[in-house]
């Protein structure tokens, strides 16, 4: 079993002119104190990727023109959703030594994604000024905090395998 915090999300890149001419890499936006980083809890299990944006663009503000941001590229409280993973296996080895020395039969069952957990892709986080785009049917197709429902690291469905081994 693996239970861990979600991976860090990078702070959005600033859109200042200085970014185009820097040799030290892009500068980041500043965090707005008191603003929540998320519009929806990434771990709630209630996100509809066709309707919901999950990151708050109001939590970030441009740095003044001609200056670098003092912001860190990552914040410890700005993370992707948790990705729990459970795999189980059961096995048994039967000694067949009464028929012939060194003979054995082994059977093993292995189960992957045992609780059938769905894992959504990482939300888009590069540009907090990105406008929201929608398809003709009203479903989201882009924007800051958009989760692509057909791409990314979606978990495989629950599956298992049975292994048998005869040793002689």
% the chain with pLDDT above 90? 33
Is residue 93's pLDDT more than 90?
yes
β-bridge pairing 133-134 and 140-142 = antiparallel
Per-residue pLDDT reduced to its tens digit, 41-53: 988 888 888 899 9
Q: Note the pLDDT of residue 19.
A: 64
Is residue 160's pLDDT more than 90?
yes
Q: Work out the pLDDT band at 121, boundaries 50, 70, 90.
A: confident
Tracing tokens 């707005």 back to the chain, one arrives at 32
How many Cα atoms within 13 Å fall on the side-chain side of residue 38?
A: 15
- Following DSSP, what letter does each residue of 14-72 receive, concatenated? P--THHHH-SS-PPBPEEPTT--SBSS-TTSS---TTT---B-GGGEEPPPTT------
Q: Note the pLDDT of residue 40.
A: 92
Mean pLDDT in residue range 150-159 = 68
What is the rounded average pLDDT for all residues in the chain?
85
The single-letter DSSP state of residue 139 is -
Distance CA 12, CA 22 (A): 17
20-24, 73-77, 104-108, 155-159 — which is least confidently predicted?
20-24
Per-residue pLDDT reduced to its tens digit, 129-142: 888 889 999 898 89
Distance CA 148, CA 18 (A): 31
Residue 64: other Cβ atoms inside 10 A: 12
């Amino acid at each position: 079993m693996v239970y861990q915090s979600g991976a860090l999300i990078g702070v959005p890149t600033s859109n200042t002119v200085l970014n185009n001419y820097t040799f030290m890499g892009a500068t980041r936006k500043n965090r707005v104190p008191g603003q929540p980083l998320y519009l929806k809890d990434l771990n709630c299990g209630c996100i509809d990727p066709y309707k919901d944006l999950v990151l708050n663009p109001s939590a970030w503000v441009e740095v003044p023109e001609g200056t670098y941001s003092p912001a860190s590229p990552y914040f410890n409280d700005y993370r992707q959703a948790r990705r729990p993973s459970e795999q189980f296996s059961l096995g048994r080895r039967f000694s067949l030594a009464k028929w012939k020395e060194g003979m054995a039969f082994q059977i093993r069952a292995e189960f992957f994604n045992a609780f059938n957990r769905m894992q959504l892709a990482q939300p888009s986080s590069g540009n907090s000024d990105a406008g929201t785009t929608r398809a003709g049917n009203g479903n989201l197709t882009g924007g800051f905090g958009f989760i692509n429902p057909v791409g990314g690291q979606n978990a495989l469905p629950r599956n298992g395998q049975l292994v048998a081994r005869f040793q002689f």
